[in-house]
A = this chain, B = another copy of it.
Amino acid sequence: MKQSTLYTKTRKTLPKDEVANNATLLLKSGFIHKEMAGVYSYLPLGLRVLKKIERIIREEINSIGGQEIFMTALQDPKIWKKTDRWSDEMVDIWLKTRDEEFGLGWTHEEPLTSQMRHHIQSYKDLPVYAYQFQTKFRNEPRAKSGLLRTKEFVMKDLYSFNADEDGLNKFYEIAQKAYMRIFDKVGLGKSTYLTFASGGAFSKYSHEFQTLCEAGEDTIFVDKKKKIAVNKEVLNATVLKDLGLNRKDLIETKAIEIGNIFKLGTRFSKSLNLTFKDSKGKEQLVVMGCYGIGPGRLMGTVVEVLSDKDGMIWPESIAPFKVHLLEFKKGRGANLYRELIKKGVDVLYDDRDASPGEKLKDADLIGIPLRLIVSEKTGNKVEFKRRESKTAKLLTQNEAIRKSL
């Protein structure tokens, strides 16, 4: 894409109430736009990142048997009353329309469990794994963390329906591994820990995926050798014993929760009467689990973890473009741009009327991983540099193209 045709510009002034580093960088670079506190729109560069993250998640969830659906934001109070999650006393983040006619979904156990009554009758219909990428609404009182905590966000929520606890436990392990593959692919694998957190009526723990980061809202205790962590909210002597951990091996640190998996058991199938006939013809309750990732929060976390003082540093897997081609003299990059496009390279071509200084500054801010520069100085060669590297190399055009593939 030619940067001269990209409608967004980098910005110097920011909304006064913005404090989070991820929001500051994403706003400055024109990846997102702030509508209100905790409410952000995605602009062309930001949406490209979001879509790439979604694609990675989709592939992994499909690979473990997930079937994609798309439920609605508008929620019917009737079914939420059955599970006792409609009242503001039980759930304090509901956004509801006037006269409480509709709720705006903050999760989707209720409508999906209810829907499954049409599709699950026999043990032969199980298991079912259904997921969606869909907008959630949560009336978050403290929306000060940019994309890390918002009132409206797309969530990948997966729900599992099994015949028994054993089936749930096996799928839970499989989902856990798929989650780690996702975090690896978006560049957060090394800094992300499987973290034991509070469970519910059905299971002792739920599991969070926590990424070590000073900007995080959570406090966790990490055992770096064992590669597991415990959320502060559940840390006590019993838990340490349970998990075979030693308090002195644990380091206290701030972290961002980038995923959460939860064994729901029969909590919802019981309230909403989702049953099946087992192989002996006996009526049984379906056993459920749920598995969430917010692609936008993942994006914000990558910015928090991988940026430097000059801007963002995107991993190739989710970068808005793989290559940023900068020309310091009008038209000088046109030929190389054509060649890159011909080879199918995902390239942003800075063909704007702007000074080299401005272009370099914007390129650092935007954070595309590979950079090519053509100028008077480079002659018929091309300067090649990785965004995070201090040193550049002078390559022939063919070498530069090869490095960009």
Contacts and interface: CB of A to CB of B under 8 A. Distances in A.
A128 B11 contact: no
B151 A74 contact: yes
Interface residues of A, number: 48
A225 interface: no
Nearest to A8: B119
A366 to B, nearest CB: 15
A74 B6 contact: no
A70 B42 contact: yes
A169 interface: no
Chain multiplicity (copies): 2
A27 to B, nearest CB: 9
A42 B67 contact: no
A100 interface: yes
Contact of A67 (B44, B76, B97): B44
A33 B70 contact: no
A74 B140 CA distance: 13
A337 B297 CA distance: 40
A7 B67 contact: yes
Contacts of A44: 67-69, 130
A388 interface: no
A215 interface: no
Contact of A95 (B11, B30, B36, B102): B102
Interface in A44-92: 44, 47, 50, 65, 67-76
Contact of A137 (B6, B71, B74): B74
Given A8-B119, A47-B68, A119-B7, A73 B135 contact: yes
Given A72-B39, A111-B35, A6 B67 contact: yes
A96 interface: yes
Interface string A102-124: 10100000010001001110000
Contact of A50 (B70, B74, B76, B120): B70
Interface of A: 5-9, 11, 30, 33, 35-36, 39-44, 47, 50, 65, 67-76, 95-98, 100, 102, 104, 111, 115, 118-120, 125, 128, 130, 135, 137, 151-152
